[in-house]
Amino acid sequence: MKKNFVLLSCFLILSCKTQKKAEVVESTPACINKAIEIFSKSGCEKGMNVKEYTFQRKQVYVFDQGNCGNDMTSEVLDNSCKNLGFLGGFTGNVKINGEDFSNAVFVKTIWEN
């Protein structure tokens, strides 16, 4: 009985310390998957997401940090993980590469917590 308790305790402790890998949409580029892994370990406990859009004739990914802070920005990456800019923030930026991001077409949510 005591042995089972010790094994169960060890299992529970280890399972609590193991972070769940971020689950993403299968067709997501490898570098975006890696960026999501890093992104998922920082920021808000809830409300964070990564969404795919078509913008300026290419696929882009918006990393939204959620709402656990004021004036936070959302990073915009292309499918090669090149930073195209940031949306929001203190200035309320809405432009990427000189074009209003409202012209982007939403494709799908890649990841959310």
Domain regions of the chain by residue span: 21-112
Maximum Cα–Cα distance for the chain, whole Å?
68
Predicted local confidence at residue 16, as pLDDT: 37
- The pTM (predicted TM-score) of the whole model is 0.77
99-100 vs 73-78, strand pairing mode: unpaired
Token output for 113: 């917590």
Average pLDDT of adjacent 10-residue blocks, the chain of 113 residues: 40 38 71 94 87 97 89 94 95 96 97 93
Percent of the chain with pLDDT over 70: 77
